[in-house]
Structure 1
Amino acid sequence: MPRFIAIFSSNPSRLAIAQRLSPRIKICPPDGLLLEVTARFEGTALEKLLRQIHPLKVGVSSTRITAILAAQTQSGTVVPPGKEGDFLASLPVHLLSLALPEPDCKLLSIFSQWGIRTLGELAALPEEELVARLGQAGLRLQKMARGQDVESFPSHVEGPHFEESQELEWTLDSLESLTFILGRILEQLCARLRNYGLAVRALCLVLRLDDRTIYERTLHLASPTCHPKLLLSLLRLDLQSHPPNSGIVGVSLQAIPAPPRLIQYSLLEPPLPNPEKMSHTLGRLTALLGKSNIGSPTLRDTHRPDAIESAPFAAPAAPAEKRRKKKEKRAAQITQLSLRRFRPPRPTRIRSHQIVTCAGPWRSSGDWWTGTNQKWARDEWDVELLDGSICRIYWDHCKKNWFLEGIYD
């Protein structure tokens, strides 16, 4: 019969220590672990946990719920097999919240209204009447109060770690020598990634230098790829722009995995750009112009007009034909005015007698809390003039002037 050890500790090495003791581990957020061990190995595992993890709350039982409550209420308790119900009988009902999601915790307040104070009293309730009033959720809580596990044991399986390192027997002082080493490492990494059906989303390069310093570079790709020659070319371009300041005595390269990008080409649309060639082009542009000058324009999270910023470039997804047709059909059914904007807006002196009708104002402001000249405040109006034109004008509270922002077509 398996035994379960529940541990709760703020020690960051708790998972690594637990993995050396059992292959079946469940993570109990925020700082708990549940280990499944054999009865013969129970004493040895408990001794090692108490010796290596500090501080530590620990409980042992034949069921998971009992082990968790034992660790949280009476640390160090070892519940004998078959005695789970006796141990839990005197504990308060609200302690079940330590092992329940938030929606199920709301049912515990109902037991308090019924006068049910302990887990023993909850376990003694008639099952049929409990199900009739609270449904299967109430029966689930009663089984937990009796020390029975109500769900399977999903053990934690750590994902593969794609990293290769190499210690050098001599100091490298040229990019050509380093490129040869990186080429072999990338071949090994890409072979492992292909076995898992993954590609490279980013590369983290760590170089140990002969002056006892660490040199790190992170390379983000526009599209996941698993071609070592392309990755080597991108790393070479990056190192040409940012060379290390000393000789190299150690190399470590980590690949951040991601699912490969699958493209479904269409017979009726122009072909999409090759993502691998795009990554190589972006790498060359970054080496030539600098990382801060390469990216895609994106809207900032503000109401300031024309507020944009540069974000890292990502390859666009293949267009969905059905979504495009649906959007075109919806656009064809709606007639909208388009605003032809002036950049920059033009100062204007429109008089009130020139205006036939108007709508507004629409007031907006921002960045006044920064205390800099970046603050802005404006009142926008849509006006129809005597000549029949419809314009968007606004009053700038900072510049104290009227501006013509655009004309409606």
Structure 2
Amino acid sequence: MTDARTLVLVIPHWPTIAAGVAYNCPAAVMHMNRVIDATPAAVEQRVVPGIRRREAQRLCPNLEMIDDNEARNARRFHLIVAALESVTPRVEISAGGWCSFPTQGPSRYFGGDQTLAQLVAERALDALCNTLGVTEVPRVIKPRVGIADSRFTACLAAFPKNLPLIQIVAPGTSSQFLAPFPVDTLGNKDSPLVDAADLIDVFRRLGLRTLGDVASLPSDHLLARFGSPGLLAHQLSLGIDGRTPQTHLISDVVTEESEIEPPTDRTETAVFLAKALAEEIHKRLSSEGLACARVLVEVESEHGEVCSRYWRHEHQFTPTAITDRIRWQLEGWCHSTTGPTGRLSLVRLVADEVVPDDGRQLGFWGGEAFIDERVVRSLTRIQGMLGSDAVTVVEHREGRRLSDIEQRVSLAVTGFDPDRSVATPEATAAPWPGRLPAPLPAAVFQQTQQLIVTDAEGQPVRVNGRGQIGGDPAHIQGELLGSHLIVGWGGPWFLDERWWDPARKHRQARFQLLLADGTAHLCVVQSEEWWLEASYE
């Protein structure tokens, strides 16, 4: 088990910083229709992480909501990490706004943990100010540093809710420091038990409220009752990382590299090549019953410039997850002021830390933590029978119309991996004037249904060429919906696309209509006719 002291750097509210919103404006970052981060101005309106999208809109009607983008978070964290390279070359990136490194060498070189922590905080603050284009930032988003005997403990020491910006846990005191923390912290995003919500729920129902309660139990009892997750929870509660690097078990250092011939200035070309390297590393480790937990990604340009980054995974990397990190690293490097002056010429991957491949872990409740591999095999067989394009998945993109935002793409192109995330190109992160506000309707009809919408006087409701409505919608009638009173409506969201192209021009106005029976629908007006396009659930 690792017992090296570790420094963790956290920049609070990084998802909102990476999204480019001003911290003095009410804004929130959303994931799966829940708030995961909010600006200080939004928090003042009681918009806090965990609440649903509709509740956030109710509390703050002028709230700007941005979808979370893991690639954007990691890409824009490049400048912060680059500022720490003069302190140590072994900065490990876990996610955007969150990195760590072992302190043994740097602490001795700079004169102790306190001096090292102060230096890292200052370097990160300067880089953050440069990123935002300001000379000072409010305390709530200033970098925070924690140092402790384990990475999990250091993460909690740097936790944004702690008052001091720098917190150092003295050697040998991790268990006392962790004891008062609630048991829910075992499921933090920085924890190896991030996917063990069921285990943590059982702990609560058993009366184990704090990490001290978990640490007080015999480890063999937790192992017998809950398996390896129970033992890991006990180790984390004691301030032990609980993961044993297995580098000594590998027959040789697992390194894969490939020259890019000819050199390219397209990041996707390098990523495509690196994907094959990631799959080869995964294959070599799997043959020895191992998996990669920390990977070193190095990219060189034809002028000899090198971008080197360590990436850490709290569980274990899949080839797709490694490929995503390579893409984020390349995009961050190539779009920075210190980017390469030449084309990309070489990609190198090194499995820097490996752990035993524990495969699929069944919980004692009978469930599985990840997507059942049998589903993947079944879909693969269907592809073999019906063709590679027969199985499709929904991919989220950007745009104004529903058909633009969600598109079906072949499973053969996207893969089927629980760690996979769709990397939306930077160019699509546009304001998209005229787009529908979130949340989007859940049921989208393949064929639109014609409607009759009238005002209180029984006259048809029309929309002119400037998107101005002629009367308030009061009544709706359609074959699918029947006849209903309209008790609320929103819009119009007017679209006038490609007006210069007679063959491809598109003009319509969209409305959200709330009916007396409590249902809500998305309707469009086009060529003076009303159509039912989708319904909310």
TM-score normalised to structure 1 length: 0.41
Greater percentage in helix: 1
Answer 1 or 2: higher relative contact order, Cα 8 Å, separation at least 6.
2
Structure whose CA Rg is larger:
1
